[in-house]
Structure 1
Amino acid sequence: MKQLFATLIVFVIALPAWAEIQIKEVTSPGGITAWLVEDHSIPFTALELRFRGGTSLDDPDARGAVYLMSGLIEEGAGDMDARTYARELESLAASFGYRATDDSVAISAQFLTENREDVIDLLRTTLHEPRFDQDAIERVRAQVLSGLRSDQTDPNDIAGRSFAEMAYGDHPYGSDGKGTIESVSALTRDDILGAYDGVFAKDRLYVGAVGDITAEELGAILDKLLADLPETGKPIPEKADVNIAGGITVVDFDTPQSVALFAQRGIDRDDPDFFPAFLLNHILGGGGFESRLMQEVREKRGLTYGVGTYLVPKDLASVYMGSVSSANDRIAETVEVIRNEWSRAAEKGVTPKELDDAKTYLTGAYPLRFDGNSRIAGIMVGMQMEGLPIDYIATRNDKVNAVTLEDVNRVASELLDPEGLHFTVVGKPVGLDG
């Protein structure tokens, strides 16, 4: 059975799904909405449940509670302790996954059609009757604490924490969603129960399903799984007041190579100029070896192995970020080159060829995202959370191609802020003053 499940997963990942994706909206008899892609070619289904809020729902004095809770969901449920639960899941040849981010908690399930009823029963028990046994709490807590101790010696994590504290202050985004060693050590079972009660509710629920299942069957599953959830969960925090001022922050750390995060104000996902900004980012720093920053920083000067930029439109704040690492005695030059490229793009924009090449790459690469039922289910849920229309997959490349050179260059002049670009550098940089 397990071998058959593994074989089916490999087969599903290989499916040429792009052309066949037809999303339909399903509403259960109880009024729960989901997006569905039916594919009856193999007896396999992927189900994605996502709840908005994520680790941002933590109380200030219980940071890390949602993250720890998400790691405990599969550690026993109903009358099954952790070991019995794991054996039951394995016997059904099913897979469950749990993820907590700043903005959501997700539960993913993959299962064979022949075991669907039993898998849904187990998933319902998981969602509604988690045990949170004390021995499981201590075991998972120890794993989280081990990761946090490791993070304390990772320059990338140090840079991320320093930047977040500066940019977001007291907002939940301003500290690690996994918590701190002190906060996680102090978490009680009541804190975990409070996190559970705050996360899982209908008012923040999004569902996607892909595979061997009909709309009628999915509707029945939705009610069985989710109808008994509370109507509302814990209030989601207000938007963050982002504070990024131009300059450099140096965090002293004994390492031969400095790590830098650089950032400025960003752009929201629902902004009318998002697609021009998306293309601009690809040209400036998001396009791998063909990006301007990679050419200028790595190829021409050999200052780094890699540099990249990315738009970060979170639910409660948007920033535009990049990362780079370089030898301590070369990081100052690296910072200067990045600032110069930021300024050049803001003042002179991009070329027609750069825009055409970016469009070709981004439209050609887009179908490769849809490489399996689980990926498609996750993408559909993300679309719902971002407020995108149900036909977005079919129209997305048209939106990319509709962006003009004038659009990109206008957005470059308006969005890019060389004076407001802040570098957070972790290491022993030479020639940089924090």
Structure 2
Amino acid sequence: MSGTIPSGFTLPVQVVEAAGVTAWLAEDHAVPVISLSFSVPGGASLDPEGREGAAALAASLLTEGAGDLTAPAFQDALRDAAISISFSADRDEFSGNFRCLTDALPEATRLARLALSAPRMEAPDVERVRARAIAGARQALESPRGQAGRAFWAAALPGPFGHPPGGTAETIAALPAEVLRGVPARQFRRGGLCLAASGAITAAQLRDVMTALFADWPAEAPAALPALPPFSARGVQVVGMDSPQSSAVFGQPGLAVDDPDWEAAGVVLRVLAGGGFSSRLMNAVRVERGLAYGINAGPEPVAGRSVIVGSVATENARMAETISVLRGEWARMAAAGPTDAEREEAIAYLTGSQPLSFTSTRQVAGILLALQRNKRPLDWLANRPARLEALSRDRLSEVAARVLRPDDLAVTVAGRPVGL
């Protein structure tokens, strides 16, 4: 089957099975590059209480030496073959990817297998990577944007999903080495694995890679994610911080990723907050009033649902007015939806720009992986232009009224905002 995109762009997708795993493959030998991406449910949400940041720190350590290769030797092997391998832990998933030239596929597979099955996590490497993570966590809180983001998520989703995925400086510093070494066993399960590959690799080659990387993983389903709490943030909260500018993170509950109105909500949000200078928020905040350089918002999936989240920064004296304009535009869109002209522009952009998302093997693999995670059918891309075009203005207005909740729009501001 294939996904067909406007302007003659097509994306043939093969379903490949091996070792109890199913992968989506977009085979393309135009350039000798291969990308592979995978994810399993879990990530930071499975960190033990008080051990926040364990999954993220362990992910960083997987390429710091594995098997018989010390950390310097492992990195030298990657550089010598021009291979990129990385792992990460987000709020609700643990993911990994590698990219290599076709000739380097055997070596990339070997190194990825070592990283997944036999990470060394030696004490000097743990402490070096820990120090880097602590510095990063502290640096993130040096800006109003970092402070606002941390406070927003903590208020919006109390519990595991509201913690910074990478942990805090305090929790990272306190992580015992044995907790880090236990992360792979806690995270890796074939039952929840999503896998995608793109580029100059055949189905037979991909089966070999899948067997090498994942055949030894336990076949059972992954550990159940914690229950996603109701969106709890309300009103405006201010985090005091000395800065000439304030930064705000704002948001409200979003839809489930499998909600029938997901795409229609995407069109509404494109008009309201995601269309650059064509969006209502950008026009009202920057063009008409000069309140801020930029403002945007969009859905962020979390554990099968989503949070509509955005950000804006401006001088302290103008943040109160900026929030007032934001709320006004949010309410106006909820009340009346987009105009006919806005509908046409948004749909034309979303369909016409789609090929730009498929310009590298890494992008293609990432998109195929996201489609799997969100349980989209193989023909989802092929039918997307028709689905979008079928969305009438009246339908979009109904969805705007359903999705946008002006009274539930929560705003967290860090800085010294005047009048808040």
Q: Which band: TM-score by shorter chain? A: over 0.9
Name the counterpart of 2:229: 241
Equivalent residue pairs, number: 415
AA in 2 matched with 1:146: A
Structure 2 equivalent of residue 10 of structure 1: none
Percent identity reads 37
Greater shift after overlay, 368-377 or 31-40? 31-40
CA–CA separation in structure 2 for the residues paired with 1:217 and 1:17: 31
Instruction: Say which SS state the counterpart of residue 399 (structure 1) adopts.
Output: helix
In structure 1, the residue matched to 2:17 is 27
Taking the aligned partners of 1:233 and 1:256, their CA distance within structure 2 comes to 50
In terms of mean alpha carbon deviation, does 111-120 or 173-182 score higher? 111-120
Could you say which residue in structure 2 is the equivalent of 1:299? 287
Residue type at the aligned position of 1:60: E
Once residues 30 and 286 of structure 2 are traced to their aligned partners in structure 1, the CA distance between those partners, rounded to angstroms, is: 46
Per the TM alignment, residue 280 of structure 1 is displaced from its structure 2 partner at its CA by 0.6
SS of equivalent residue, structure 1 residue 41: coil
Contact 1:244 1:263 in 2 (8 A): no
**3-state SS, counterpart of residue 160 of structure 1:** helix
Query: Which deviations, in whole Å up to 9, do the C-alpha atoms of 1:21-46 show, x marking residues without a partner?
Result: 20010112x33211111112333211
Query: What's 1:310 paired with?
Result: 298
Counterpart position of 1:257: 245
Confirm whether residue 227 of structure 1 aligns to residue 215 of structure 2: yes
Deviation at residue 20 of structure 1 after TM alignment: 4.2
Matched-pair contact (CA < 8 Å) for 1:57–1:234? no
Give the whole-Å Cα distance in 1 for the aligned partners of 2:97 and 2:61.
15
Taking structure 1 as the reference length, the TM-score comes to 0.92
Match of 1:5 in 2: none
Deviation at 1:17, TM superposition (A): 12
**Is 2:395 aligned against 1:410?**
no
Pair 316,154 (structure 1): closer, same or farther in 2 beyond 3 Å: farther
- Residues 231, 252 of structure 2: 8 Å contact kept: no
Q: Is it true that 1:340 corresponds to 2:328 in the alignment?
A: yes
Q: Which residue of 1 aligns with 2:87?
A: 98
Opposite residue 27 of structure 1, the aligned amino acid is: E
4+ long deviations beyond 4 Å: none
The question of whether the paired residues in 2 share the 8 Å contact of 1:18 and 1:367 is answered with: no
Using the alignment, how far apart are the partners of 2:270 and 2:354 within structure 1? 14
In 1, are the aligned partners of 2:20 and 2:190 still within 8 Å (CA)? Answer: no
Query: CA-to-partner distance for each residue in 1:82-118, whole Å, 9 max, x for gaps?
Result: 0111112222222212222112222211222223223
SS in 2 for 1:400: helix
Amino acid at match of 2:11: I
Please say if 1:51 is aligned against 2:52: no
Q: C-alpha root-mean-square deviation of aligned residues, in Å?
A: 1.7
Deviation at 1:318, TM superposition (A): 2.0
**Counterpart position of 1:107:** 96
Amino acid at match of 2:31: I
Letter in 1 for 2:9: A
Question: What is the deviation of 1:119?
Answer: 2.4
Distance between the aligned counterparts of 1:243 and 1:388, measured in 2?
Answer: 25
CA positional deviation for 1:133: 0.6
Q: Say whether residues 1:329 and 2:317 are aligned partners.
A: yes
Residue 202 (structure 1) aligned with residue 158 (structure 2): no
For residue 373 of structure 1, what is the aligned residue in structure 2?
A: 361
SS at structure 2 position matched to 1:329: helix
1:18, 1:370 within 8 Å by CA — same for their partners in 2? Answer: no
**Secondary structure of 2:391 counterpart:** coil
Deviations 1:248-305 (A, max 9, x none): 1111111111111111121111111111111110111111111111111111111111
1:155 maps to which residue? 144
SS in 2 for 1:60: coil
* SS of residue paired to 2:9: helix
Alignment of 1:136-151 (within 5 A): 136-151=125-140
Gaps of 5+ in 1: 1-15
Contact conserved, 1:94 with 1:109, CA < 8 A, in 2? yes
Residues 426/116 of structure 1: CA separation in 2 closer, same or farther (3 Å cut): same
